[in-house]
Amino acid sequence: MRSWTASWPCPRRADLPVLTVGCGVNTDACGDSAMKGDLLLLSSVVLLLRVVWGCPEKCQCHPASGSVDCGQRGLAEIPPDLPPQTRTLYLQDNQIHQLPASAFRSVPQLTTLNLGNNSLSTLAPGAFHGLQHLQVLNLTQNSLRSVESRLFRSLPRLRELDVSANNIGHLAASLGECCRNLTVLAVQQNRLQQLDRALLESMPSVKFLFLKNNLWKCNCHLVGLKLWLEKFIYKGGVMDSVICVSPDTWKGKDLLKIPHELYQPCPSPSPDLESSQVPLGSAPWAVPRSPESHSAGEQEHSECELKPKPRPANLRHALVTVIIGGVACGILCLLMLVATIYGCTYAAITARYHGAPLAQTTEPKKTEGKELLDSSPA
């Protein structure tokens, strides 16, 4: 305030010293006028800020940081008079039920939006239209049943998406096409049973993934997620856990700790099977079901459950077994060949050394017999 008082010097009087910087504290009349000037200036600045920012009545605005706090104000809708320079908007702990199209058109510079702990159940397809700079979106503790990809098409810079503690039962694979720059994805405490591996593969920048407390069904359809998570952790990604809820065989088990060999391959749908209307429960790959499970409905029969196999299905183990067996057979055949050659060689040498004397001893006998024949009378 010194600069402002210096520009408004007090009138010179004979009984007052000349002020070169501003009104002194020891002067009475000048001090009163300076104080009034300061108050007038302060009120003018506050009024000017309110005019420029247009801060809603129930919110608190912080122009220096560009944030507006409208949390815990009992709001049922987005305030219409938000300051256009807002970069951070807090709307958590209110009673907002829905977001209309272009609900945040008055704050195009928004980078952080917190809508946690409201009653959101419906989001218009263009609810976030115009938020080209939004990086952090918090939608936790609401009543969302689905999250469509078109919701985020206008958010090219979105880095963090938190939809935890909702009623989401499915995430479409097309969601990744609109969220390729995501580094944090949180979907804890929802109703997810499966998660398409293609969705995660379309988010190459994800470093933090939170999947805990869902209704994970650890059957053949979750093998793709298991393989992707193993690769994700190997590359340095951070995640919590995927705890199986069904079937009973793996209830309470960590998906990443279940061996690959215990998963049955998912059957591909066959037109012949559909035309013949053969129940899937009679197929060779189906798991025997109890009478109670048969009464659950046709949908249960169409899902493939996993069960322990009585024999190893790992191709690598089979190849190792074949290689070891082949090597053993080859060594055995080689030993037999060596033994045969050694036996034949030994027999030939023995016959050579023992066959010559025998030939000499038999030769005189033949000569004597010949002589006797010759000496016999004609």
Distance CA 12, CA 30 (A): 10
Beta strands in 105-241 (DSSP E): 112-114, 122-123, 136-138, 160-162, 184-186, 208-210, 216-217, 238-239
3-class state of residue 15 by DSSP: coil
> Which pLDDT band, with edges at 50, 70 and 90, does 262 fall under?
confident
Looking at the structure, do residues 281 and 239 belong to the same domain, yes or no?
A: no
Looking at the structure, do residues 205 and 145 belong to the same domain, yes or no?
A: yes
Looking at the structure, do residues 27 and 83 belong to the same domain, yes or no?
A: no
- Closest by Cα among 165, 217, 209 to 190: 165
- Closest by Cα among 132, 138, 136 to 120: 138
Question: Domain boundary residue among 50, 70, 88?
Answer: 50
pLDDT at 25: 44
Q: Considering the domain boundaries, does residue 356 fall inside one?
A: no
Distance CA 61, CA 51 (A): 12
Distance CA 291, CA 298 (A): 13
DSSP secondary structure letter of residue 186: E
pLDDT at 33: 56
**Between residues 52 and 146, which one has the greater pLDDT?**
146
**Between residues 175 and 137, which one has the greater pLDDT?**
137
Looking at the structure, do residues 92 and 237 belong to the same domain, yes or no?
A: yes
- Closest by Cα among 185, 164, 163 to 238: 185
Looking at the structure, do residues 232 and 127 belong to the same domain, yes or no?
A: yes
pLDDT at 34: 56
Looking at the structure, do residues 157 and 199 belong to the same domain, yes or no?
A: yes
Q: Considering the domain boundaries, does residue 36 fall inside one?
A: yes
Q: Considering the domain boundaries, does residue 366 fall inside one?
A: no
Looking at the structure, do residues 162 and 202 belong to the same domain, yes or no?
A: yes
Question: Domain boundary residue among 12, 35, 50?
Answer: 50
What does pTM read for this prediction? 0.61
Looking at the structure, do residues 254 and 267 belong to the same domain, yes or no?
A: no
Looking at the structure, do residues 268 and 197 belong to the same domain, yes or no?
A: no
pLDDT at 172: 86
Q: Considering the domain boundaries, does residue 370 fall inside one?
A: no
Pair type for strands 216-217 and 244-246: parallel
Q: Compute the average pLDDT of residues 31-58.
A: 60
| Mean pLDDT, the chain, whole residue set | 76
Q: Considering the domain boundaries, does residue 233 fall inside one?
A: yes
Q: Considering the domain boundaries, does residue 367 fall inside one?
A: no
pLDDT at 269 over 80: no
Q: Considering the domain boundaries, does residue 30 fall inside one?
A: yes
* Residue 46 and residue 33 in contact, taking contact as beta carbons nearer than 8 Å: no
pLDDT at 32: 58
Looking at the structure, do residues 15 and 148 belong to the same domain, yes or no?
A: no
- 3-class DSSP string for 254-301: EHHHCCHHHCCCCCCCCHHHHHHCCCHHHCCCCCCCCHHHHCCCHHHH
Looking at the structure, do residues 258 and 214 belong to the same domain, yes or no?
A: yes
* Residue 97 and residue 121 in contact, taking contact as beta carbons nearer than 8 Å: yes
Question: Domain boundary residue among 296, 318, 340?
Answer: 318
Looking at the structure, do residues 253 and 230 belong to the same domain, yes or no?
A: yes
Q: What is the CATH number of the domain that holds 136?
A: 3.80.10.10
Q: Total domain count for the chain?
A: 3
- Closest by Cα among 263, 148, 167 to 214: 167
Q: Which domain holds residue 223?
A: 56-262
> In Å, how far are 28, 190, 345, 364, 370 from 356, measured between CA atoms?
152, 98, 17, 14, 22
Q: Considering the domain boundaries, does residue 288 fall inside one?
A: yes
